[in-house]
């Protein structure tokens, strides 16, 4: 294997900081539960199969949305079988440079519109304080605020459940940074693998419900921020809970 490969892989992973739930929404077919894959069954998985699945999930969840899953699987199989690495160090480096160049010129317009500046913590704190006084707004012990736009009639999820949702996310200034509504495609994810505000908030919902969540920075991405979301940002999400699996 090329000595440059570990460096290139690290650089690729570091060059694209993506919000996990947003990444899954762009490639939902890559992140379905194992029960939907004929070669792997969640219910009957052995300890080795579970650990193998975890390793694959963790690696793939850190890759950019341009990941070609067929090529990824081919590389994983070859590496596991200790087959000869097919590319030269120069080819790997050239591919990385081309990949980075393409990333810079093909960023979605919606992401480009959001400045990666640090959010004004005072402004966000003021927003939450004023928002908490509005009619219909409820606040949990953690500081999560929400409005019940439509009460659901189905079951509520547990933190370990996989849920199917539609959502729109925006900052307190009204800037929309991601929307499955706009893509016309709901997403599925396990509830304990997203930001704390989502994990807590969606457990308050029932299938068929529609809530608006106002998520303080400490229940979202905190001082680090993530991708198009500036550090210390309060997030507003309109969420439809379609199904609990």
**What's the CA gap between 226 and 28, in Å, rounded?**
20
Q: Is 57 a catalytic residue?
A: no
Exactly one of 177, 189, 211, 214 is catalytic; which is it?
A: 177
HEC string of the chain equals CCCCHHHHHHHHHHHCCCCHHHHHHHCHHHCCCHHHECCECCCCCCHHHHHHHHHHHHHHHCCCCCCCHHHHHHHHHHHHCCCCCCCCHHHHHHHHHHHHHHHHHCCCHHHHCCCCCCCCHHHHHHHHHHHCCCCCCEECCCCCEEEEEECCCCCCCCCCCEEEEEEEEEECCCCEEEEHHHHCCCEEEEHHHCCHHHHHHHCCCCCCCEEEEEECHHHCCHHHCECCECCCCCEEEEEEEEEEC
Q: Is 192 a catalytic residue?
A: no
Q: Is 147 a catalytic residue?
A: no
Q: Is 195 a catalytic residue?
A: yes
What residues form DSSP beta bridges with 242? Answer: none
What residues form DSSP beta bridges with 178? Answer: 169
Exactly one of 31, 124, 221, 229 is catalytic; which is it?
A: 221
Q: Is 99 a catalytic residue?
A: no
Exactly one of 178, 187, 229, 236 is catalytic; which is it?
A: 178
Exactly one of 187, 195, 215, 236 is catalytic; which is it?
A: 195
Q: Is 120 a catalytic residue?
A: no
Exactly one of 23, 31, 167, 211 is catalytic; which is it?
A: 167
Which residues have a catalytic role annotated?
A: 167, 177-178, 195, 221, 237
């Amino acid at each position: 294997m090329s000595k440059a490969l570990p460096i290139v892989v690290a650089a690729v992973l570091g060059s694209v900081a993506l919000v996990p739930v947003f990444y899954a929404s762009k490639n939902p077919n890559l992140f379905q539960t194992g029960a939907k894959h004929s070669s792997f069954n969640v219910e009957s998985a052995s300890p080795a199969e579970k650990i193998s699945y975890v390793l694959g999930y963790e690696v793939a969840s850190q890759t950019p949305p341009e990941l070609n899953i067929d090529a990824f699987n081919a590389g994983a199989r070859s590496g596991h079988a200790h087959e000869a690495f097919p590319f030269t160090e120069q080819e790997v480096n050239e591919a990385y440079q081309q990949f980075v160049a393409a990333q810079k010129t093909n960023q979605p317009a919606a992401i480009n519109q959001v400045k990666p500046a640090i959010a004004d913590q005072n402004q966000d704190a003021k927003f939450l304080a004023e928002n908490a006084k509005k009619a219909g707004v409820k606040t949990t012990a953690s500081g999560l605020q929400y409005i019940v736009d439509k009460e659901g009639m189905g079951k509520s999820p547990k933190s370990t459940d996989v849920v199917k949702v539609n959502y729109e996310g925006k900052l307190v200034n009204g800037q929309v940074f991601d929307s499955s509504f706009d893509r016309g495609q709901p997403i599925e994810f396990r509830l304990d693998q997203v930001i704390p505000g989502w994990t807590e908030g969606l457990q308050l919902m029932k299938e068929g419900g529609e809530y608006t969540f106002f998520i303080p920075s400490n229940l979202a991405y905190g001082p680090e921020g993530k991708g198009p979301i500036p550090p210390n940002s309060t997030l507003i999400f309109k969420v439809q809970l379609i199904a609990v699996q």
